[in-house]
Structure 1
Amino acid sequence: MQALELDIKELIISALALEDITPDDIDAEQPLFVKGLGLDSIDALELGLALQRRYGVTVTADSEETRRHFGSVQALAAFVAAQRTR
């Protein structure tokens, strides 16, 4: 799972063009939105598209379940891993 978390961190950085941030700067357990990494709704859309392109996962817009999946890098990694096994 750590390799997947690292890959997702790198995807976040590249998809959102986060300058001056490295994967080591992102705590896998920290929130991605508001506090923590401080992403916003536009970032969520871009990240959702990037996840879909890279991993082939489908993300439903504006659902409570999606908000949980986007809660942290750790949660995203668990979501992607679960989708891959289907």
Structure 2
Amino acid sequence: MSASRSANLALVLVVLGWLLAYYGVMSQFGDPAPSVARSVIESQRHVSLAVWLIGLMCLVGSLWLSGRSFAAARRRSLLALASVVVPIVFLLAQLY
């Protein structure tokens, strides 16, 4: 795969990764209705965890592709890196 294609894929994976990670976390907020069976709640929890992990893997893959394509596509590579790291730093700063 060419470096240009790797940089483009890194940018796509950043967007996809953040969307999936956001859905995986936000789908766990709130209380289920009392009439919902425990098995359904557990099933939804497993789906949310799987989506969250896939989102994290997309972000890690984006970082790897960004590093792999840095020599040939510096701007896109740095944009992908910043798109992963800056929100994480912002979120951690909000916790402290």
The higher relative CO (CA closer than 8 Å, separation ≥ 6) is in 2
Q: State if a TM-score over 0.5 links the two structures.
A: no
Looking at secondary structure, tell me which structure has more helix per residue. 2
